[in-house]
Amino acid sequence: MAIGLRSYRPLVGGVTHMVSTGHYLATAAGYRILEQGGNAIDAGVAAGMVINVTLPQYTSFAGVAPIIIHHAETGETREISGLGRWPAEASIDYFRREHAGDMPHGVMRTVTPAAPDAWITSLIRYGTMTFEQVVTPALEIAEGGFPIPATLHRALVSSGDNIILDEGDTSQWASTMEIFYPGGKALGIGDLLVQKDLARTFRRMIHAEQSVNGQGRDAGLRAARDLFYKGDIAEEMVAFVRSQGGWLSMQDLADFSVGVDRPPMIDYKGIDVYACGPWCQGPMNLHALKILEGCDLQGMGHNSADYIHTVLEALKLAFADRHAYYGDPDFVDVPMAGLLSREYADVRRREIDAQRANPEMPLAGDPWAHQQGGVRYGAKQPQAVAGPLSADTSYICAVDRWGNAFSATPSDGFGGAPIVPGLGLMVSARGSQSWLDEDHPCSLEPGKRPRLTPNPAMAFKDGKPWLPFGTPGGDVQPQSMVQLFLNVAEFDMDVQQAIEAPRASTWSFPNSFWPHAYRPGLVGVESRIDPSVVDDLRKRGHDVDVWNEWTPRMGSLCAIEIDRERGTMYGGADLRRDGYAMGR
Phi/psi at 323 (nearest 5 deg)?
Answer: -65, -35
pLDDT of residue 280: 98
For position 200, what pLDDT does the model report? 98
Contact 119, 406 (CB under 8 A): no
Q: What is the pLDDT of residue 162?
A: 33
DSSP secondary structure code for residue 436 in this structure:
S
Side by side, the strands of the sheet bearing 504-506 are 504-506, 522-526, 543-547
Q: What's the pLDDT score for residue 163?
A: 32
CB 325 within 8 A of CB 278: yes
pLDDT score for 384:
66
- Longest alpha-carbon distance in the chain: 70
What pLDDT is recorded for position 463? 97
HSE at residue 348, side-chain half, CA atoms within 13 A, is: 35
pLDDT for the residue 236: 98
- The per-residue pLDDT for 382 is 73
Delimit the domains of the chain by residue range: 8-261+393-433, 265-390+455-563
User: What does the pLDDT look like over 271-310, one tens digit per residue?
Assistant: 999 999 999 999 999 999 999 999 999 999 999 999 999 9
Answer whether 297's CB lies under 8 Å from 483's CB. Answer: no
Question: Could you give the strand order of the β-sheet that contains 18-21, starting from the edge strand earlier in sequence?
Answer: 260-261, 76-80, 67-71, 405-408, 396-399, 18-21, 580-583
Q: With contact defined as beta carbons under 8 Å apart, do 21 and 394 qualify?
A: yes
Express each pLDDT in 557-579 by its tens digit.
999 999 999 999 999 999 999 99
Residue ranges in the chain whose pLDDT is less than 70: 1-4, 159-171, 373-380, 384-391
Query: Among 111, 101, 50, which residue's Cα sits nearest to residue 449?
Result: 111
Q: What is the pLDDT of residue 32?
A: 98
- DSSP letters spanning 518-550: B-TTEEEEETTS-HHHHHHHHHTT-EEEEE-TT
Separation of CA 41 from chain center: 17
Query: What CATH number has the domain spanning 265-390+455-563?
Result: 1.10.246.130
> pLDDT of 472-522, one tens digit each?
999 999 999 999 999 999 999 999 999 999 999 999 999 999 999 999 999
For residue 231, the number of C-alpha atoms closer than 13 Å in the C-beta half-sphere is: 14
